[in-house]
Structure 1
Amino acid sequence: MSTTNSFPPQVFTSLKELLGMERLSQYFSMVARKQKVKSILGGRHQSKLRGRGLDFEEVRHYVKGDDIRNIDWKVTARTKETHTRVFSEEKEKPALIVVDQSKSMFFGSQNRTKSVVAAELAAVAAFRVLKQGDRVGGVVFADNGIDIIQPKRDRRNILRFLEKVVSRNHELIDSKPANIEDALKETTAKIRNIVTHDYLVVVISDFRRYDAAVIRFISQIAQHNDVVLVKIVDPLEKEIPEMKFVAGDSETQVTVDGKSSKIREKFKTGFESDYLDFQAQMSKHRIPLFSIDTLNSVEEQLKDIFKRNRK
């Protein structure tokens, strides 16, 4: 077996690097509590109750069946119409973080591999959920196996999850692409056994080999759960350099004429078209999708994403 020790940290991750990602979890919230504008999900899992001693949500017109103890008499007197105060209860939101460590992720043209970036994001998400007081678990999807960490409200559980991520990440140096259809079917079946309803499911992948059946599965999960998709992208997948070069894998090599503006434009529009189509499919099911690239730091990209989200 090959060793990963001789490679720079941009190619393979380590447990030390992933534990260091905890500091980034302060920048955002994967679920909405009081600061909805900083949440990707915008408060979808909060339930409005007619209770007392809960977080105040809003004042609205009184409707038959509302608890009269919650009537806001000041607003009622001012508007001459009966208004009631509505409160929200924060439900537990267990999370499952699905991170792709299959062969297509073992690619990076400039700074880091997609697999390293995916591992970093999985760590950030796991620590964020734990800080919010919810249970968190994970699924590590690889060509030669699947690791399941059941959701728990325990820091040691995150440690086990990240150890599995690092192990699968280092296996990429020797792994061979598996039958992706069978592997994905097995993965989705295992996820279905864990996720029931009111879960947060975060899927981190390049989504290069996901077929219609997997997309359908994601949309089904989103019917009773909150789903967030993070697409990992390398700059070379979006835009080829203006030069002739040889590209290939372990079986095939091809010469690409990057000097041709026609080829470069077709390459770029093809990527953008695929991404927008995928995004449109997910929008139909109210599933947020955003991309993170391998060139810029995860920290700066997350800050930028949530800055735009606030606007």
Structure 2
Amino acid sequence: MPAPNTFPSQIFTSLKELLGMERISQFFSVIARKQKVKSILGGRHESKLRGRGLDFEEVRQYVKGDDIRNIDWKVTARTRETHTRVFSEEKEKPALIIVDQSKSMFFGSQVRTKSVVAAELAAIAAFRVLKQGDRVGGIVFADNGIDIIQPKRDRRNILRFLEKVVNRNHELADSNPAGTGDALKEVAMKTRNIVTHDFLVVVISDFHRYSSDVTRFISQIAQHNDVVLVKVFDPLEREIPETKFVAGNQETQVSVDGKSKTIRKNFLEGFDKDYKDFQIHMKKHRIPLFSINTIQPIEEQLKEVFKGGRK
């Protein structure tokens, strides 16, 4: 098979292409002020700080890393669980961007592959966070490994992250998806080891392999952090063409009668139901989820998703 860089940029990305996403990032903010489910973007934010002499906000359960001087002993004695007083102050919000470069992302029916779109979204988010003045790092998970870049307030750190994304993206030409069913679960567990609280966690994936374990880990991370989920999909995954065709992978082929209105209807409704169910489940945990397709320009889609949050 030819080297990945001989393919069009719509199939494989490059560091040059991802660096070009910095232009788009200036129009959006992935930092929310007192983030609510629908306020994904919103400029500088108030964050929960462990400090003294600040505005009191709430009492919550103590988590590792909290200042022990702020323990509320009365509530702790009453509930028999350690609680701490929380104060508000504008501060940095470190960000961790998690991007999927596994085999299911290596698909695109018309314009770009899902893996390229996910890589571009990761670059936009990383540059936007850095421009806000916050630390940013990332996790890239693929069929044959996971790369972790710890959050830093350093442009060179973003370059290292994007290089990992490009390397994993190019590996898709020959990667084997066998045994990747627990990839999201493993990433969720590793994320919990990095983030404590007051982080922004952005997960970019097609979520083809999400499970109850994954959603549980994500909801646990969201208890003390802001989490945003971005589902990348190709329109062919939602609407099959009105013709007979053969679809398959390296192991299996199936004949699909796209002329059947029943098949097309079931295919469309099945996709929409899965997405809506996932969205409703995440909403229960105050986790926003939105989708980006592989056909429309990313900039146009982000403007539509984040209208009202644009600077």
TM-score (norm 1): 0.83
After superposition, give the CA deviation of every residue in 1:265-302 in whole Å (9 maximum; x if it has no partner). 00000000000000000000000000000000111111
Residue in 1 that maps onto 2:164: 164
* Separation of aligned partners in 2, 1:51 and 1:23: 40
Q: CA deviation at 1:190?
A: 1.6
* Separation of aligned partners in 2, 1:186 and 1:35: 27
User: Aligned Cα RMSD in Å?
Assistant: 2.6
Contact 1:45 1:226 in 2 (8 A): no
Matched, 1:149 2:149: yes
* Separation of aligned partners in 1, 2:306 and 2:52: 31
After superposition, give the CA deviation of every residue in 1:72-112 in whole Å (9 maximum; x if it has no partner). xxxxxxxxxxxxxxx96312100000000000000000000
Contact 2:184 2:209 in 1 (8 A): no
Residue in 1 that maps onto 2:127: 127
Structure 2 counterpart SS, 1:307: coil
Identity, in percent, stands at 76
After superposition, give the CA deviation of every residue in 1:176-229 in whole Å (9 maximum; x if it has no partner). 003224433432222111111110000000001111101110011000000000
Structure 2 counterpart SS, 1:275: helix
Q: How has the CA–CA distance of structure 1 residues 309 and 128 changed in structure 2, closer, same or farther, with 3 Å as cutoff?
A: closer
After superposition, give the CA deviation of every residue in 1:116-163 in whole Å (9 maximum; x if it has no partner). 000000000000000001000000010100000000000000000000
* Separation of aligned partners in 2, 1:227 and 1:117: 20
Residue in 2 that maps onto 1:290: 290
Q: CA deviation at 1:246?
A: 0.5
* Separation of aligned partners in 2, 1:214 and 1:180: 13
* Separation of aligned partners in 1, 2:256 and 2:204: 29
Residue in 1 that maps onto 2:206: 206
Q: How has the CA–CA distance of structure 1 residues 108 and 132 changed in structure 2, closer, same or farther, with 3 Å as cutoff?
A: same
Contact 1:231 1:292 in 2 (8 A): yes
Contact 2:115 2:169 in 1 (8 A): yes
Contact 1:144 1:178 in 2 (8 A): no
Name the amino acid aligned to 1:272: D
Matched, 1:196 2:190: no
TM-score (norm 2): 0.83
Name the amino acid aligned to 1:235: P
Q: Where in structure 2 are there 5+ consecutive unaligned residues?
A: 56-86
Residue in 2 that maps onto 1:307: 307
Q: Where in structure 1 are there 5+ consecutive unaligned residues?
A: 55-86
Contact 2:238 2:267 in 1 (8 A): yes
Residue in 1 that maps onto 2:225: 225
Name the amino acid aligned to 2:200: L
User: Once superposed, which parts of structure 1, at least 4 consecutive aligned residues long, lie more than 6 Å away?
Assistant: 48-52
Which moves more between the two structures, 158-167 or 205-214? 205-214
Q: CA deviation at 1:41?
A: 5.3
* Separation of aligned partners in 1, 2:286 and 2:35: 20
Name the amino acid aligned to 2:285: H
Which moves more between the two structures, 300-309 or 246-255? 300-309
Q: CA deviation at 1:35?
A: 12
* Separation of aligned partners in 2, 1:47 and 1:227: 15
Q: How has the CA–CA distance of structure 1 residues 264 and 306 changed in structure 2, closer, same or farther, with 3 Å as cutoff?
A: same
* Separation of aligned partners in 2, 1:47 and 1:150: 21
Larger-Rg structure? 1
Contact 2:201 2:228 in 1 (8 A): yes
Residue in 2 that maps onto 1:136: 136
